[in-house]
Structure 1
Amino acid sequence: MFTQHATVRETTGCLLGVVSVAMKSDYERLLDAAREKFQGVVETPSDLGRLIDESSQTLTNWKSRGLPSSKITKLAKIVGVYPAWLEDGTGDKWLPENAAGKIPEPVIPAGASVVAYDNPDELDPDRYVWIDRYDINLSAGCGNIQWVVNQKDPICFRAAWFKFKGLPPEDCKALYVRGRSMEPVLQDYDTVLIDTSKKDIVDGDVYAVCLADEFYIKAVHRKPGAVVLRSYNKDFEDIEVVGEQMNQLCIIGKMVWRGG
């Protein structure tokens, strides 16, 4: 917590005293802005971590040490504020609506070598894993989910990444995101990796789900007697699943990775 001192004087120039005004840290500004922009979605630091894809330990470090300067611009765009305001609280706060939520593209460092592979067979299968992208066909509700492989568009991961994350590659399927309901975290035509072995709901995590004959990628929340499918984009209303609808709800798997 930072403290700014303001000196107060009468018009005669006589010193009346010093008033201490508490200024919030950059971490607190980040959390407050996320709560304001994503009302009902971001309420706790854990919610913030899911939004910006950072661990609880990382957030704890940021709370005590401040946000890393290398992350300021990206974090500011996610929550829709100006980087200068996030960094030190000065200037305008909110970005124009059409600029908010857009995360800058990664930049390849100068001098870095980039090698393109046209064929999966060119990569060492002990070091790399190719995951097919799928479309989902639903018929007769959740009882018949058909995974349709897009043979032309697999995605490559390091095998060590699956080992580090404790994920079974054979249970993971890549899907395209369609629509704006999960912006700014998931943009239209982003790719998500779904672990179909993870079907137990962790409150607030993102899952691929089937409800009746509809497919969704949503943040899933539990409440007494109901399950809530929530969008990050507050222009989209919650879908509350209650009563007999619970029999039509199927958790397909948990999102474990996302990419543009």
Structure 2
Amino acid sequence: MHTIHSRIKQARTNKGLTQAELAEKLNISITAIQLWENKDETKATAPKRKRLEEVAKILGVTVTWLCTGENFIQTDENPKPTENPGPSDGYKKVMIYDIDLSKNHENINWILSEFEEPLLINNNWFTSKNLISDDLRAMRVKGNSMAPNLDNNDIVIINTNDVEPVDDETYAIIYNKHFFIRQIRQTVDGINLISSNSDYETIKISSNHLDNFIILGKKVWRCG
């Protein structure tokens, strides 16, 4: 199963639920379920984080598995293992971090989240993306400035080894001791930080102020 849409359908059918029954348990319309499971990704939608947690609980799977396919599905046919999968099982961990902005922006203090389970990602994903697990860090999105592409409390993985700006790619950024996740667009005068949400104005950074600007890494994955 290659998408969140197909994994929701698989988990639902494994649980023996119809679309209508799942909709009833979630107190939503059957149309919402149909959109989640739509094979056409241009028309499909996905549940937001809070709803996704409800779906995972009802279907007996993990949020990580629904998002990535890189964790074990919990069904009677495939019971929960006694230990978490590790590198020997073909998985690598990507830890979830917060960032301490109290110090100089050049001295980034990554704080390992005490309350978050690491993401378990299949080795094949790293190979297919030509990524090294030690270069990757996961973090929570705060706010809705990148909605609908990224919503509040989504998880993103950034590649800390990819800090050269490419137009219209999304990066984790620190500017003037503030943390942002934004699209970048280079201009003749500097760099623009662009929100997906039109309620947020573009932040224009002139070349004279780039000393206060640092790219932490490029977004390579998200789940919400």
Q: TM-score, normalised by structure 1?
A: 0.57
Paired residue for 2:108, among 134, 145, 154?
A: 145
- Is the contact between residue 86 and residue 93 of structure 2 (CA under 8 Å) also seen in structure 1? no
What SS does the corresponding residue of 2:152 show, helix, strand or coil? coil
CA-to-partner distance for each residue in 1:120-147, whole Å, 9 max, x for gaps? Answer: x531413011111000001343122100
Q: Residues 204 and 71 from structure 1, CA distance in 2 versus in 1: closer, same or farther, beyond 3 angstroms?
A: same
Residue matched to 1:125: 87
CA-to-partner distance for each residue in 1:188-210, whole Å, 9 max, x for gaps? Answer: 00000000000011101000011
Q: Which structure has greater strand proportion?
A: 1
RMSD: 2.6
Paired residue for 2:41, among 68, 71, 74?
A: 71
> 1:257 and 2:221 equivalent?
yes
Residue matched to 1:188: 152
- Is the contact between residue 193 and residue 258 of structure 1 (CA under 8 Å) also seen in structure 2? yes
Q: State the identity %.
A: 29
For the residues of structure 1 that align with 2:109 and 2:188, how far apart are their CA atoms?
32
> 1:230 and 2:197 equivalent?
no
What SS does the corresponding residue of 2:167 show, helix, strand or coil? coil
Matched ranges for 1:67-146 at <5 A: 70-74=40-44, 103-105=45-47, 114-115=73-74, 121-126=83-88, 127-146=90-109
- Is the contact between residue 141 and residue 248 of structure 1 (CA under 8 Å) also seen in structure 2? no
> 1:241 and 2:205 equivalent?
yes
What SS does the corresponding residue of 1:122 show, helix, strand or coil? coil
For the residues of structure 1 that align with 2:104 and 2:81, how far apart are their CA atoms?
38
2:94 counterpart letter in structure 1: I
For the residues of structure 1 that align with 2:135 and 2:212, how far apart are their CA atoms?
23
What SS does the corresponding residue of 1:197 show, helix, strand or coil? coil
1:202 counterpart letter in structure 2: V
Residue matched to 1:205: 169
5+ unaligned residues in a row in structure 1: which ranges? 1-67, 75-102
Residue matched to 1:175: 139
What SS does the corresponding residue of 2:198 show, helix, strand or coil? coil
CA-to-partner distance for each residue in 1:69-106, whole Å, 9 max, x for gaps? Answer: 623422xxxxxxxxxxxxxxxxxxxxxxxxxxxx3338
- Is the contact between residue 207 and residue 217 of structure 1 (CA under 8 Å) also seen in structure 2? yes
- Is the contact between residue 135 and residue 148 of structure 1 (CA under 8 Å) also seen in structure 2? yes
Which stretch has the larger CA shift, 215-224 or 154-163? 154-163
- Is the contact between residue 171 and residue 196 of structure 1 (CA under 8 Å) also seen in structure 2? yes
5+ unaligned residues in a row in structure 2: which ranges? 1-37, 62-71
Select the structure with the greater relative contact order (CA < 8 A; seq sep ≥ 6). Answer: 2
- Is the contact between residue 194 and residue 255 of structure 1 (CA under 8 Å) also seen in structure 2? yes
What SS does the corresponding residue of 2:87 show, helix, strand or coil? coil
Q: TM-score, normalised by structure 2?
A: 0.66
State how many pairs are aligned: 162
Q: Which has the larger radius of gyration?
A: 1
Shift of residue 118 of structure 1?
8.1
